[in-house]
A and B are shown apart, each in its own frame.
Chain A
Amino acid sequence: MTSAAVEFERLTVTRGGREVLHQVAGSFAAGRVTGLFGPSGSGKSTLIRAIAGVQASVQGTLRVLGEQPGSMKVRRALGYMTQAPSVYEDLTVAENVRYFAAIRGGELGAVLERVQLVDQSDQLVRNLSGGQRARVSLAAALVANPRLLLLDEPTVGLDPLLRRELWGLFGRLAAEGGALLVSSHVLDEARHCDEVILLREGTIVAQLSPAELAARTGTDDLDEAFIRLIEQT
């Protein structure tokens, strides 16, 4: 395994007086797609926000590309997609993505092809469907080739064909050397990942490959495998 792009140890995060992540430890490397799975409320977004450097009240050790989260070096290399589409409703698709490219010193490039929004490029985001807005938000994270991608539920609400194509895209970006952490609450999507981190109630239950998960639980059904895993631990 190559050296870790992101590593964390004894990571505890408190939000609104409540402890959301309890002393979690883990890491993920460049060149592979790491999935972050768990039910809603398990702490996925909080872990991603901590790595992105926008989460307050973080205790423990957290190194991102060998630096403190939020440092200028990390911000130059990071593409971050929040769970709710965070783009400008009163700009067109192309204007949005071009702006996020420009502040990272990049160009629009072929990113709209990658998220299949070429036909909508001159439409105002305000007039798009929820799934299309989510893809604009994804494009704004992917543009200008960031080395580290933190994608919070990028496939939620999309049609199955497009979901499969996006997972294929994530695989290609990893093959090009990117480090990807992709969260989802649809456990079935774990099979697209090289490795999965399973979160439950603010604790990491396991970090392993889908094949290891099947071997350890004796089933190919991913929902069933997660249930058995939780019962084992």
Chain B
Amino acid sequence: MSLRRTLTTAERVLLQLRHDPRTIALMLLVPCVLETLLRLIYADHLVAFNLAGAPLLAFFPLTTVFLVTSIALLRERVSGTLERLLTSPLGRLELLAGYAISFGLLAAVQAVLVSALTLGPLGLKVRGPVPLVVLLAACVGLLGVGLGLLASAFARTEFQVVQFFPLVIMPQLLLCGLLVARQRMPAGLHAVSDALPLSYAVDGMHHLSRQVGTVAALWADIVIVLAFAAGALMLGAVTLRRRTE
């Protein structure tokens, strides 16, 4: 594994984004608009805003990074650049690490902005250490890279790949504990919820916002999210075959 080739690839992915300022603006601003909207909806219910606002901080990087990764990798597969890369010394894991670094960084920048707004002017109460909010969001970003990579393997067109969003992301949102606390779900659904990574990211945010449990429990959630991200990336690496039909 070459660090130089990995960083070169991360730089290339970021350069591609830099030529598309509108996408960057949308990725950074839309979550801010949504948190503001949530605050306005719950103008008279600060408790409710606290309950919903913190989990969403973990949800935004998943949606953003999932979408950009799945489309970016679909383009690599369809345009032939992936085939060219696989005939070069660049390894599959180096390519994926390049994507993980660049989009993980992007998730972190997004998290800094959205957390600054939400915890500052919007008045969301967080009792745990704030930098961990950003760390957790960046880890969810890595999960987005892994799931986006997997989705790109099962799509032939951009129309198809965006349809994986409701399939892969929406069930996680419904079952993550945002709408109904996970402990209050029927046993079957609770078990499904246990198998989905976003549940642990949202648990982590709950630990932070309500100081339920300890910082140790939060770290456990971060490790679980990272393990899911690593698993998705490894599965995704298998789908990057050098030899194709």
Binding site for B on A (CB under 8 A): 15-16, 52-58, 70, 72, 75-76, 78, 80, 82, 84-92, 95, 99-100, 102-105, 124, 140-141
Q: Tell whether A54 pairs with B81 under 8 Å between CB atoms, given A90-B20, A91-B19, A102-B8.
A: no
- Selected contact of A95 from candidates B15, B83, B85, CB within 8 Å: B15
Does residue B210 face the partner (Cβ distance < 8 Å to A)? Answer: no
Does residue B224 face the partner (Cβ distance < 8 Å to A)? Answer: no
Pairs A–B under 8 Å by Cβ, sample size 16: A15-B245, A16-B245, A53-B87, A54-B86, A54-B243, A55-B244, A75-B87, A85-B80, A86-B81, A87-B79, A87-B81, A88-B16, A89-B79, A91-B19, A102-B5, A141-B84
- Selected contact of A70 from candidates B9, B15, B243, CB within 8 Å: B243
Chain A nearest CB from B97 CB (Å) reads 13
Chain B nearest CB from A49 CB (Å) reads 8
Docked-complex contact A56 and B243, CB < 8 angstroms: yes
Q: B7: nearest residue on chain A (CB-CB)? A: A102
Docked-complex contact B245 and A103, CB < 8 angstroms: no
Docked-complex contact A80 and B19, CB < 8 angstroms: no
Which of A76, A78, A88 counts the most chain B CB atoms within 10 A? A88
* B residues in contact with A104, CB < 8 Å: 88-89
Docked-complex contact B16 and A103, CB < 8 angstroms: no
Chain A nearest CB from B185 CB (Å) reads 43
Report the number of A-B residue pairs with Cβ-Cβ less than 8 Å.
82
Docked-complex contact B81 and A88, CB < 8 angstroms: yes
| Cα–Cα distance between A72 and B244 once the two chains are bound (Å) | 18
Does residue B90 face the partner (Cβ distance < 8 Å to A)? Answer: yes
Docked-complex contact A54 and B88, CB < 8 angstroms: no
Given contacts A16-B245, A141-B84, 13 further A-B contacts (CB under 8 A): A53-B87, A53-B243, A55-B243, A70-B243, A84-B79, A86-B83, A87-B79, A91-B15, A95-B12, A95-B15, A100-B88, A102-B5, A103-B88
**The 4 nearest A-B residue pairs measured at CB:** A86-B80, A56-B243, A102-B8, A80-B87
* B residues in contact with A80, CB < 8 Å: 84, 87
| Cα–Cα distance between A183 and B122 once the two chains are bound (Å) | 63
Chain B nearest CB from A126 CB (Å) reads 9
Docked-complex contact B84 and A70, CB < 8 angstroms: no
Q: Tell whether A82 pairs with B19 under 8 Å between CB atoms, given A56-B245, A103-B89.
A: no
Docked-complex contact A82 and B83, CB < 8 angstroms: yes
| Cα–Cα distance between A115 and B6 once the two chains are bound (Å) | 28
Chain A nearest CB from B43 CB (Å) reads 41
Docked-complex contact A100 and B245, CB < 8 angstroms: no
| Cα–Cα distance between A95 and B81 once the two chains are bound (Å) | 14
Does residue B156 face the partner (Cβ distance < 8 Å to A)? Answer: no
* B residues in contact with A95, CB < 8 Å: 12, 15
Docked-complex contact B245 and A86, CB < 8 angstroms: no
| Cα–Cα distance between A88 and B134 once the two chains are bound (Å) | 31
Docked-complex contact B80 and A84, CB < 8 angstroms: yes
Near A by CB (< 8 A), chain B positions 110-168 give none
